Structure 1
Amino acid sequence: MRAYGKLHSSCHTALGLALGLGLCATSTQAQTVSGADGNTSDIIVTAQRRAERLEDVPASITAATQETLAAAGVTDIHDLDQIAPGVQISYAGAYTQPSIRGVTTLTAGPGWENNVAVYIDGFYSPAPVGVNVALANLQDIQIFKGPQGTLYGRNATGGAILINTRGPTAEFTVNAEASYARFDDVAVNGFISGPISDTLRVGVAGTFRRSDGYYRQVDPAGSGGTVDDAANIRSQSVRAKVEWDATPDLTATAGYNYVLVNDPTTLLFPNQGYAPAFLPAEPFAGRAPYRASSNVDTSNEARVHEGTLKLVYRTGFGNIASYTGYQKLAARTVYDFDGTYLPILNIDGPNNKYTFQHTTDVTIDSIGRLNLVVGGSYYNDVDRNDGAKTFLNGSLASFTYARLTAKAWAAYFDATYDLTDKLILTLGGRYTRERKGISYRQLDASQTINLVEPASSSATFSDFTPRATLRYELSPRTNVYAAFSQGFRTGGFQPTPAATPALLVPFRPEKITAYEVGFKTATSTFRFDAAAFYYDYTDLQVGVTRANPVTNSLISFVSNAPSAEIYGVDLQGSVQPVNGLTLMAGASFLHARYKEFPNITGVGVDPVTNLNVEDVQDWSGLQMTRAPDFSGNAGASYETPLADGTLRLSGNVSYSGASPQSNPSVFGSLAGAQARVQRYRNDPYTLVNAQIGWTAPGDHLTVTVFATNLTKERYYINYGGTTFFGDVGVFNQPRTFGVRLRYEN
């Protein structure tokens, strides 16, 4: 929705290496320039729509380029927590779910949007399944921490993640990369760009990946071995951009994006305990890691076609930017929920989504000490469940049709005024109004009998979210700031049929009020950022999986938690003690708890039968999901001449404390002393990645050997339970080695 530039790839060595470890905080556009003292370590950013040094931005932001993400061993959006303390990227089935400082979503399925907004090339990405792609052919990624209630305010109570791909270049450019890794993982991507004329430039990027995946199907004959791959991974994409200088003051960029991704790993449901008696003891996967059972070919395929048009007009008073995009998403998920070779419960769900969005920004920088951004946006989304099939005991049981709509309007402003040469005030606000609608039918196998009464409804939600910051410059590269902001996630409807039309009522919007103070400083060889924050969180939307008494299938159900409290401290820093060596570290201390959340239906345990039961629980005072009390990362990177080329060594260590993963449920009222103990938790884990690379003379060809998860840590990326099939969970990828070859002209 907004103009983003690129992270300059020719940073000063020290700064570039720090970025390579994913440490340096930056924003939507960054480049290095010579500072007042003649060094080249200043990073110029435009987070507030104007050029500012990184340390002058009163916000907590982290970013890295494609090359530097690869140097830290990050190859997928779900690995970003390895370089950004306080951040976790997780799954719920097929859907990507980011968490920033404990703010995340537990709702998943057609019609849901995250509460951490994701933008690709400046356009809001409404489909969580659409961002489940590898990080290839990127320009940079930025993570904005805290509610983005003004400039990135759509469903951004937790923050925003900006993914920017490469744009057309003024000179002929060719980059290509190929890699091979464990699990027969082959990836190829390339980028070609150059001028057609003095005013016209074209760039095309393409990616391809295939992998056998790291889960295996157990032998149905009960030998204890495995017989086949359980979750093959396939993805490919094409991103094309044409950039035209229509006049000296008007630049137009037209884009076409195609993405195909099929990664069914998190649609496997191997049992992890509390299995009911009707599930076979063998040969289903049981608790064995990286094993699965299924009587269908599991699939999680999504195809995205998107057209975009960006217009930037430069005037005497500032810039006018217009962003228009249309996206069509066609997805299909096929999975076996019982995780056995018996045909107990299978789902085949097609989903089509059509999204139009437009935003206009006006940036004014010609009024003395005032810098002003005003803008407005329109968003129109139609999400269709086009006949999801439910199979029970091998027979087709039902069809579900649903249509969810969203129409949203927003207007916003952001004004920064220099009260003095050292004291700067920013005030902003955003008004959002959104109308949500739903209609559905659920039919039997013959599609002639309604299993529930068809119904439809709509509701309108609106809110004003302000922002205010005050920054004081202690010295030219050292600042302190205080910030206040609010975030808003719209309300909506359960995207599954209700038992009766009377129960078709909307859940409430969630709101967050954030307070933050921060300190930033930098020299030519040293950077340090620190931020302390407090969030007052109300009506947060929490989803749980429950049994549908009408169809004997499973549904996602959303409840509003009345209140929660989050506070903590983020720290990050880097230093270059000697030329070529960079050391970095980051840490997040977090307290994220449901403040008040009684009478919620969770998944408990009956100690007599040792089976899961639906239980009315009280989660007040308990830890929120994906919100470890402590997380941190550290790394080192060293560059030195070798054999007329350049040797690069890098390593990264990340730690995450214990926290619930996908479900906050406790053992429940029947469990005695364990009644208030949360069940679906990850233990603390530490990940170690390392790389050795050599660039040949001429700086065109680089070969890299890499390893991820060197210590073979195991934790859940999806973990929960139901009363039907016990607990289910999918583990992270085990230790992996590979080699990468890269060419740059």
Structure 2
Amino acid sequence: MRNVFKAAVPSTLAIVAALSAAPAFAQSAQPEAGAGSSGISEIVVTAEKRPSTEQKTPIAMTVISPEVLEKNSVSDLASIARIAPGVSFAAAGPATIISIRGVSSRDTSEIGDPAVSISIDGFNLQRALGLNTSMFDLERVEVLRGPQGTLLGRNATGGAINIISAKPKDEFAAYLGGEIGNYNTYNTKGMINVPVTDTLQVRAAFQTRDHNGYRNNAPSKDGDDDHSRAVRLHVLYTPTDRLSILATAEYAEQNGVGPVTNNIPLEYYTADNVPDGLLVGDIDLSAPSRGSGKTYAIAPGSFLKTRSWNYRTEINYDLGFANLTYQGGYRRLKVARRTLLGGAYGTTAQNLTFGQTEDLPSWNHELRLSSNGDGPLKWQFGGFFFQEKNDLNTQFQDYPDSDGIYGTPFVIQDYVYPDILSRAKALFGQVAYELTPGLTVEAGMRYSKDQKHRNGYKVTVPFSSYMTDRCDLTDTCVYTTTAQASSTKSSQPTYHAAINYQATPTNMVYAKFDTGYKAGGFTDIAEYKPEKVKSFEIGTKNRFLGNTLQVNLSAFYYDYTDQQVSQNVVLDDGTVGTIVRNAGKSRYKGAELDVLYQPTNVDRFNVYVGYVHARYVDFKASVSGQLARLATSQGRLDEDSNYVLDGFTPPQSPDWTFNLGYEHDFNVFGGKLTPGVQTHIETKSYFTFYNLELDEQKAYSRTDLTLSFSPDSAQWTVTAFVRNLEDRLILTSAQYPSATYGTYREQYAPPRTFGAGFTYNF
């Protein structure tokens, strides 16, 4: 814990300096209309696919209100991870990896599935690309912690993030806003809501985001930039009191250099520092000298372009005894990118490049019937269908004798997969019965069937032949064409059982058992099995002191079987590929304390403390070379040359996380001035399952300051912010060092940023 307290020192100083500062509350903390002098409001949620309130929903969850989203300029998933307790963010190139309670999936390939379900308005977003452009004009964001296998399905073994956009209303409303900041940040947003008739309402919204790269990558353009545009149109038609039809169209695009990797030249052990069991000339496995992480040279020419079109519909019909709901639609995502693979600048490997184009149409359909009424029995049943196709072409390329990655490349590997399919079907149901006033039992089941296939071919040249002999210069390269036809099917029932007791209108306890499932799949190297989890959780949700103190507690235990673990490996031809292994057993156990306190109308505190002890219990990884020597030195190499990783920590799983915040309203200048502070602290974690010093994220704190002012008329709001006050270098990726490229490869979260914004409400 020493590192935790050391990390907390600058945050504590920031809190003392700010004294009256405004946190990024994870839940609305505004008084209810007509309430007394103080009180924490309830937010209506749909975490269980029917309206309820957060405090009466027996799920460990965080609800982020529109006020908090606005105050913290939430515009992407990384922003959610910045303010939502128990959530962390990582990256694999441009792909987003979300972890909840230390559970994540690092397989971001075209076959991989996330471990955290992400949806917008009930529409499942399958791929880890293109997720960051829909976070605008939102009603709320629900973050559900723990497996949600019955109602949300196969890819919710870690939890779920439900993004709910703001819907049309029966009154005119509009706003325009903008934001400026360092790194030449210029963001805009706007919305107009028009009640066309008594039965027809329209809402249109847009967002643009522009900032230069956070890194100085000369001679390349600066990386980690953002240039995106998004627009959404809702049309709500309610011809009768029983029927409502919501049609939505959404378009988003993203451009720029895209995420960049710091390719740090490898260091090797010498006779003076080689550890016992390793050899002189082995790769140094200690943390590399990364400096500030803000300046490193890369070859010019990288780019990232995404385009997405989403058309979805929600239809609700009140049958009297029940409500019939359809949610679904069509989404098309196009991706084109070219990114460096990891060779250090100034070496013959500096232009080794990954090129990718994808065209992904997908369909979501869900139909469910939910009971109405206030009787003791509540139920819902439904069916779900998902299908995604993909036309994928990826290339491992080099641009020899060039200053950057432009011109005509030499293709070392060409993967052509015009026929990739992922299909999922499910039937589900859940019932709840109130045995006595306040005492309710629940039971649910989902049966899922999954199918995946990939057909095409690959054309390859031996990497070592190209790099050492430059066979391209003598026209002696030997090409090998290999047909690819892989497929897998899996199915699994998942279950839910719970007992909830609403002891008083403001005090509830619950205990529940859930199972979760993530479909199996394959890589170019081998197949992997489905991932399964059993979850046991108890919790309590409470309001005290006249509705001014909210205290929620939960404790959980996860029993994972065949947890899917992704890693990069060196293939026989010298290139780097991805393999997914199944860890035989993994165990997660932990507890959470989530507190909101509003002692007066103008003071609000929030405290979150989370503990997760995540460890592999039965996990062996086949190794050779230096990793085999390392395993031997640790007494962890078995007779089959497997590295026994029992007791190691899964990636992105810190033992302790803390969120601390405070805000205060000053009634000055004819309005409300609200300064605040929010601090996130976490203990060390790792980015690979080898738990090496070079992939360790040390304990750190990250503090955000905000300041907002609104006049009493509430027609406009001005805000100011500082994020990552400490200017901490925070890793989002650290891969096992690559002898192929001769580098350590790392990605980083944004450095300190600051700016100001203005919103005018019409």
What is the TM-score with the length of structure 2 in the denominator? 0.85
Alignment partner of 1:575 out of 582, 585, 597: 597
1:235 to 2:242 alignment? no
Alignment partner of 2:606 out of 584, 602, 615: 584
- CA positional deviation for 1:393: 4.6
Whole-angstrom distance in 2 between the partners of 1:333 and 1:466 = 40
What SS does the aligned partner of 2:647 have? Answer: coil
Going from structure 1 to structure 2, the CA distance change for 1:678 and 1:134 (only over 3 Å counts) comes to: farther
Alignment partner of 2:684 out of 646, 649, 658: 658
Alignment partner of 1:710 out of 725, 730, 736: 725
1:534 to 2:534 alignment? no
In structure 1, what is the equivalent of residue 442 of structure 2?
426
In structure 2, what is the equivalent of residue 255 of structure 1?
248
Aligned partner of 1:664: which letter? F
Unpaired segments of 5 or more residues in structure 1? 1-16, 220-226, 499-504, 609-613, 667-676
Q: Percent identity?
A: 24
Aligned partner of 1:293: which letter? A
Most deviating of 475-484 and 134-143: 134-143
Cα offsets for 1:466-486 (capped at 9, x unmatched)? 001101122221011101000
Whole-angstrom distance in 2 between the partners of 1:513 and 1:605 = 32
Going from structure 1 to structure 2, the CA distance change for 1:19 and 1:572 (only over 3 Å counts) comes to: farther
Alignment partner of 1:307 out of 307, 311, 322: 311
Cα offsets for 1:86-117 (capped at 9, x unmatched)? 22121111110111111101212323221101
- CA positional deviation for 1:22: 2.9
Q: Which has the higher contact order (CA 8 A, sep 6+)?
A: 2
- CA positional deviation for 1:272: 6.3
User: Which aligned pairs between 1:185-584 and structure 2 lie closer than 5 A?
Assistant: 185-218=185-218, 228-262=221-255, 264-271=257-264, 273-274=266-267, 289-337=293-341, 338-342=343-347, 344=349, 345-366=352-373, 368-391=375-398, 393=400, 395-402=410-417, 403-444=419-460, 451-494=480-523, 497-498=524-525, 505-523=526-544, 524-550=547-573, 552-584=574-606
Q: How many residues align?
A: 689
Unpaired segments of 5 or more residues in structure 2? 1-19, 270-280, 402-409, 462-471, 631-636
What SS does the aligned partner of 1:130 have? Answer: coil
- CA positional deviation for 1:488: 0.4
What SS does the aligned partner of 2:104 have? Answer: coil
- CA positional deviation for 1:365: 2.6
What is the TM-score with the length of structure 1 in the denominator? 0.86
Alpha-carbon contact 2:40-2:598 (below 8 Å) kept: no
What SS does the aligned partner of 1:368 have? Answer: coil
Whole-angstrom distance in 2 between the partners of 1:287 and 1:637 = 34
In structure 2, what is the equivalent of residue 82 of structure 1?
82
Whole-angstrom distance in 2 between the partners of 1:266 and 1:555 = 20
Cα offsets for 1:374-410 (capped at 9, x unmatched)? 0001111112213535337563223111232112110
Alpha-carbon contact 2:21-2:706 (below 8 Å) kept: no
Going from structure 1 to structure 2, the CA distance change for 1:106 and 1:678 (only over 3 Å counts) comes to: farther
What SS does the aligned partner of 2:436 have? Answer: coil
1:624 to 2:647 alignment? no
Alpha-carbon contact 1:441-1:450 (below 8 Å) kept: no
Whole-angstrom distance in 1 between the partners of 2:27 and 2:254 = 30
Alignment partner of 2:670 out of 644, 651, 664: 644
Cα offsets for 1:44-81 (capped at 9, x unmatched)? 44433444343221110101124303435655321333
Whole-angstrom distance in 1 between the partners of 2:751 and 2:309 = 33
Most deviating of 727-736 and 583-592: 727-736
- CA positional deviation for 1:603: 9.4
- CA positional deviation for 1:176: 1.5
What SS does the aligned partner of 2:522 have? Answer: coil
- CA positional deviation for 1:37: 13
Alpha-carbon contact 2:215-2:222 (below 8 Å) kept: yes
Aligned partner of 1:370: which letter? L
Aligned partner of 2:542: which letter? T
In structure 2, what is the equivalent of residue 738 of structure 1?
755
Going from structure 1 to structure 2, the CA distance change for 1:602 and 1:642 (only over 3 Å counts) comes to: farther
In structure 2, what is the equivalent of residue 593 of structure 1?
615
Whole-angstrom distance in 1 between the partners of 2:480 and 2:718 = 59
What SS does the aligned partner of 2:665 have? Answer: strand
What SS does the aligned partner of 1:129 have? Answer: coil
Whole-angstrom distance in 1 between the partners of 2:226 and 2:522 = 32
